[in-house]
Structure 1
Amino acid sequence: MCCTTALLDASLAAAADGTPAFSADPLATWQTDGIVWSMAAANGVVYVGGTFDHVRPPGAAPGQRQVKRRNFAAFDAATGKLLPCAPSFTGHHHTVRAMKASPDGRVLYVGGSFDHVGSARASNAVALHTSNCTPSKSFRPSVSATVRAIETTDKTIFLGGDFGRVGGQPRNRIAALTPKGALLPFRADVDQPVRALAAAASHGRLFVGGDFESVNGQGARSLVTLNPTTGKTVLSYPGWFPPQSSVKAIARDKTRFFVGAEGHGPGIFDGRIAGRLTNGTMVWKDTCRGATQALVPYKGLLYSASHAHDCGETPGGFPERGDRQHLLVQSLDTRKILHWFPDTNDGVGEHVGPRALAVSRGVLWAGGEFTQVNDTPQQGITRFGSRDTGAPKVPVLSVSDTDPGRVTLTWRASWDRDDASLTYRIYRDGKLVARKTKASTFWDLPRMSHTDSAPAGRHRYEIEVTDGTNTSRRSKAVTATVPAKAAQDRVVGDPR
């Protein structure tokens, strides 16, 4: 009775935390030959920006079947098809660092470090008409240095980054413009680069994150809320971030905002924080290490890109093992890390792994520095749909003991990237003789065993494992010889 109750409690807890909307099995996706820094979605198109010269089809090796795309590419969000929208972003450091579509999806605002879009001059920020992929003639602000973050509302375009002037006017690392490119009177003095922006217009707030220590002449480490019209400080967040912890990502839903941090140095806060939009109070904080780069709240869960490790203090998390997990999902309410573990490698550049996330048409897109996804070559971009197609890895089966009438088999549990509970099926001489179900994770693979009641003679055993949708191949067979039961030499009471 106790065990049944415990399983029911665990099941109810899992249901309360939600189920990931995506499989951990990647869809076939085009690749880049460099780093993806930013993604945006509008009207069923996913836009990818970064530092790269070409894209290549799914499965193509580096340098093979390349198509020219200078730091910008567009794809059908549902099918992954490469689209002809292909303006080149060149000059300065020739990189796209930030993108955001207008609320109506008609315009895509692009920022970075560039001085040309195609043949047209543009100074680190530009707008593209999504209908025909042409640059806007009106939105051409002259921004003095790199743009690293963009946020859009119906009436205002916010830019954040390294700059000190916009349109020849002083604007210290943050500015506001009209959709036509006119500079607005909004002003805030930020002492270090801005890296993340999120507006909550109905609450009269603009969330700003970055490397800074001071905003508008007052202490404000890494995160601040500004009035979106004037730029005056509404809230700072003392004690939320230690020195050398920068905010790299901000996202929100209808009631909460979410912040992702990167620590500069061993043990500096790298995790995620949830707060209330109404008053800025903290809801929860996780302490995973590993430089959070991007966040997407979607259908009640928070998806994140990082190189997470040492998550042992977060519910559902894993201990320090010397390796990294680059994509995570957790409950918006409880911060619990759920069983969804697609992974990339660290990749090139700064060896961070994924740096950008976007959801469109029911598909999660990820971009970054990686060159592998789930241990298979895949550079710069990947995506995940809803269909579970990956089978668990088949375990190695061993015979640990044989006795008259029985065989004991042992194996190490397998694991699956998006299903914790797995069922193992054992076959004797091709016939199913047992089923065992157990939960496992990549950091906890328990030993398992089964004792089979078998007749005397030589038998062949195999095992397979299923997640309920996909089943592994059967293992390599092992053999066991079951001895016959010893005949009794004497019958009790025999007078001989």
Structure 2
Amino acid sequence: MTYRGKTLSIGLSAVAVALAVAATPAQAQSSDSMPSFNGAVLTIAYAGDVAFLGGDFTAAIVRGKQIARGHLAAIDSRSGTLLSWSPAADGRVKALAVSGTSLYLTGDFGTVGGQKRDSLARVDVATGALAPTFKHAITGRPYAITAGGTRLYLGGAFTAVDGQARGRLAAFDLSTGALDPRWRPTADDQVETLAAGGGRVYAGGKFHKINTIPGYDRLVALDPAGGAIITAFRPRPPVITYALAVTSDGVYSAHGGQGGRVSAYTPGGTLRWSATFDGDAQAVTVLGDVVYAGGHFDRACSTARTGAQGTCVDGSDNRVKLAALAVGDGHLLDWTADANGVEGVLALASNAELGTVAMGGAFTTVDGRTQKRFAQFS
């Protein structure tokens, strides 16, 4: 099974603010004591002391015992306690976004809490109660959401919402759930990830044209109100963009390709640095002066050159599924916390207030210890 087409919880309105705050990066090699899960964790979103998780899992594992959780779960980040919060979805949850007292989710589900919801829903962060808003019919598959200002933004491979044409991008009123009639940008191929910050909505994916205009390949900045392209940001990365993180002074992207890479851009779209790996980078988050990268790589390459199947050509350092990079210049840091598995790490999120970094994916060990599909470092 592949987990491509998922996204992360980077760029959430609450998290975007937190990312801009200086914090001490996680240094612990060993992860905190946390529940495990019986299926992949594809997305993580922090709200205060709580980490919300979504994915393919149907149960959490606590001290060897399985506790039913239908593709959604909540964990007390300080104690590692699995919370009773459990508004079960009947299918994969691909992306989460927190805004105020609400958690927004999207994925391959048809019901949440036993009530019909086609791939998009809103629940209460405290009780898990399903809101009557965000009840839509989506033609196609959504992969990404982010909250910014008064809107929830949706990206993916869909072509319509409630019968109204939408070209892989759409927006909704955060409070009423109404489809936004003004925000109607279009992408010519799927949108894998979204992030809101700095008065912009960033979109990454496979696309080459936005609003039928060429030259905005795989990464673009859009006006949050009208959906127009912000032409000052035009980085044009050469390979697919899987994940984004936005801070007050930079945009950080995770990419696939021949090998994989994490890149840092200025808000003006200038490439500041790029770090290369021997496999796809599928997740990225920023905490203080550290950029964390996750994926299915095993090595960080010494240079940008890669050979057949992404192998490092000019030397490498072992970094199995996880790596830490300096915000300023992208140099590889000593921090290691190796994970395992073919797909490896699929989601990263950070909490500046707690000084924590959380990871989700398809792994079953972290730093040689059994820890299945979710881990946190503090």
* Matched-pair contact (CA < 8 Å) for 1:310–1:318: no
- Is 1:286 matched up with 2:269? no
Supply the AA of the counterpart residue of 1:191: D
Q: 1:130 to 1:238 in 2, by over 3 A?
A: closer
Match 1:224 to one of 198, 220, 224: 220
* Matched-pair contact (CA < 8 Å) for 1:78–1:362: no
**Shift of residue 152, structure 1, vs aligned partner:** 0.5
Q: Distance in 2 between matches of 1:146 and 1:306?
A: 23
**Shift of residue 237, structure 1, vs aligned partner:** 6.7
* Matched-pair contact (CA < 8 Å) for 1:124–1:145: no
Q: Distance in 2 between matches of 1:198 and 1:273?
A: 15
SS at match of 1:89: coil
Alignment of 1:475-486 (within 5 A): none
Q: Distance in 2 between matches of 1:359 and 1:241?
A: 25
Q: 1:26 to 1:128 in 2, by over 3 A?
A: same
For 1:74, the equivalent position in structure 2 comes to 74
Supply the AA of the counterpart residue of 1:259: S
Q: 1:224 to 1:55 in 2, by over 3 A?
A: same
Q: Which has the higher contact order (CA 8 A, sep 6+)?
A: 2
- Is 1:23 matched up with 2:37? no
Q: Distance in 2 between matches of 1:182 and 1:128?
A: 16
Q: Distance in 2 between matches of 1:319 and 1:113?
A: 41
For 1:352, the equivalent position in structure 2 comes to 343
Gaps of at least 5 residues in structure 2 are 1-22, 305-311
Identical-residue share of aligned pairs (%) = 28
Supply the AA of the counterpart residue of 1:344: A
- Is 1:262 matched up with 2:256? yes
* Matched-pair contact (CA < 8 Å) for 1:22–1:364: no
Supply the AA of the counterpart residue of 2:30: D
Q: Distance in 2 between matches of 1:253 and 1:322?
A: 27
- Is 1:45 matched up with 2:50? yes
Q: 1:27 to 1:167 in 2, by over 3 A?
A: same
* Matched-pair contact (CA < 8 Å) for 1:111–1:146: no
Q: Distance in 1 between matches of 2:233 and 2:226?
A: 20
Q: Distance in 1 between matches of 2:34 and 2:340?
A: 16
Provide TM-score, normalisation by structure 2: 0.85
Match 1:252 to one of 226, 233, 246: 246
For 1:371, the equivalent position in structure 2 comes to 364
* Matched-pair contact (CA < 8 Å) for 2:153–2:171: yes
Q: Distance in 2 between matches of 1:20 and 1:292?
A: 20
* Matched-pair contact (CA < 8 Å) for 2:287–2:355: no
Supply the AA of the counterpart residue of 2:331: K
Supply the AA of the counterpart residue of 1:187: R
**Shift of residue 257, structure 1, vs aligned partner:** 0.9
* Matched-pair contact (CA < 8 Å) for 1:310–1:319: no
**Shift of residue 370, structure 1, vs aligned partner:** 0.5
Alignment RMSD: 2.2
For 1:114, the equivalent position in structure 2 comes to 109
Q: Distance in 1 between matches of 2:314 and 2:360?
A: 26
- Is 1:154 matched up with 2:149? yes
Alignment of 1:464-475 (within 5 A): none
CA deviations on 1:280-337 (whole Å, 9 max, x unpaired) are 22211222232111111111211111233251127xx996579752111111111111
- Is 1:138 matched up with 2:133? yes
For 1:83, the equivalent position in structure 2 comes to 83
Q: Distance in 2 between matches of 1:20 and 1:132?
A: 31
- Is 1:189 matched up with 2:186? yes
Task: Detail structure 1 runs of 4+ shifted over 6 Å in the superposition.
Answer: 236-239
SS at match of 1:23: coil
Alignment of 1:258-337 (within 5 A): 258-263=252-257, 267=258, 270-277=260-267, 279-308=268-297, 309-313=299-303, 325-337=320-332
* Matched-pair contact (CA < 8 Å) for 2:58–2:71: yes
Supply the AA of the counterpart residue of 1:234: I
Gaps of at least 5 residues in structure 1 are 1-17, 386-496
Q: 1:359 to 1:31 in 2, by over 3 A?
A: same
* Matched-pair contact (CA < 8 Å) for 2:302–2:317: no
**Shift of residue 144, structure 1, vs aligned partner:** 2.1
Q: Distance in 2 between matches of 1:129 and 1:19?
A: 30
- Is 1:338 matched up with 2:333? yes
Q: 1:36 to 1:236 in 2, by over 3 A?
A: farther
Supply the AA of the counterpart residue of 1:88: A
* Matched-pair contact (CA < 8 Å) for 2:198–2:248: no
SS at match of 1:304: strand
For 1:383, the equivalent position in structure 2 comes to 376
* Matched-pair contact (CA < 8 Å) for 1:139–1:181: yes
Higher-Rg structure is 1
